[in-house]
């Protein structure tokens, strides 16, 4: 049975609005190759999206007085989360091999997803 994994893509901030359509297409080629490799391995891509610029993001921190909202960008970070994927793999080794195909100018964090349906018994 396959397990599900989440890839969190960390990179230096980049502004998609300054990229030409040709540049965006070139950027996406590596992602298309990852998606094709997942399918070729008999696995499923269950989600995946690029995220918009950090200047459009916000942070929520709980406090005794209620939630505290902070608009981005967040100056304390040099690298940001630029997107994520969730996908299935038959083993940790296969998850590593497939995740390593995701292009990034930074690094990837890969986490196994907790299957809540299995916990309900």
pLDDT score, position 77: 67
Q: What percent of the chain has a predicted confidence (pLDDT) above 90?
A: 67
**pLDDT at residue 115 tops 70:** yes
Beta strands in 1-121 (DSSP E): 3-12, 45-50, 58-61, 68-71, 79-89, 107-112
Q: Read off the pTM.
A: 0.88
Q: Which residues contact 97 (CB under 8 A, 6 or more apart)?
A: none
Name the average pLDDT for the chain: 91
Least confident of 55-59, 77-81, 105-109: 77-81
Q: Is the pLDDT of residue 26 over 90?
A: no
List domains and CATH numbers for the chain. Answer: 3-115 (3.30.70.1060)
Higher-pLDDT residue of 12, 6 = 6
Span 55-61, average pLDDT? 91
> What pLDDT does residue 121 have?
63
CB neighbours of 82 closer than 8 A, spacing ≥ 6? 9, 10, 11, 13, 14, 50, 51, 104
Query: Percentage of the chain surpassing pLDDT 70?
Result: 97
């Amino acid at each position: 049975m396959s397990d599900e994994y989440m890839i969190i893509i960390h990179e230096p901030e980049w502004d998609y609005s300054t990229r030409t359509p040709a540049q965006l297409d070139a950027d996406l080629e590596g992602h298309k190759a990852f998606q094709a490799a997942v399918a070729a391995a008999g696995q499923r891509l269950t989600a995946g999206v690029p995220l918009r610029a950090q200047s459009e993001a916000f942070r929520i921190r709980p406090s005794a007085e209620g939630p505290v909202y902070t608009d981005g960008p967040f100056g304390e970070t040099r690298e940001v989360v630029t997107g994520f994927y969730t996908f299935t793999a038959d083993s940790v080794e296969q998850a590593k091999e497939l995740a390593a195909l995701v292009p990034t100018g930074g690094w990837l964090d890969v986490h196994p997803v907790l299957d809540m349906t299995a916990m309900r018994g």
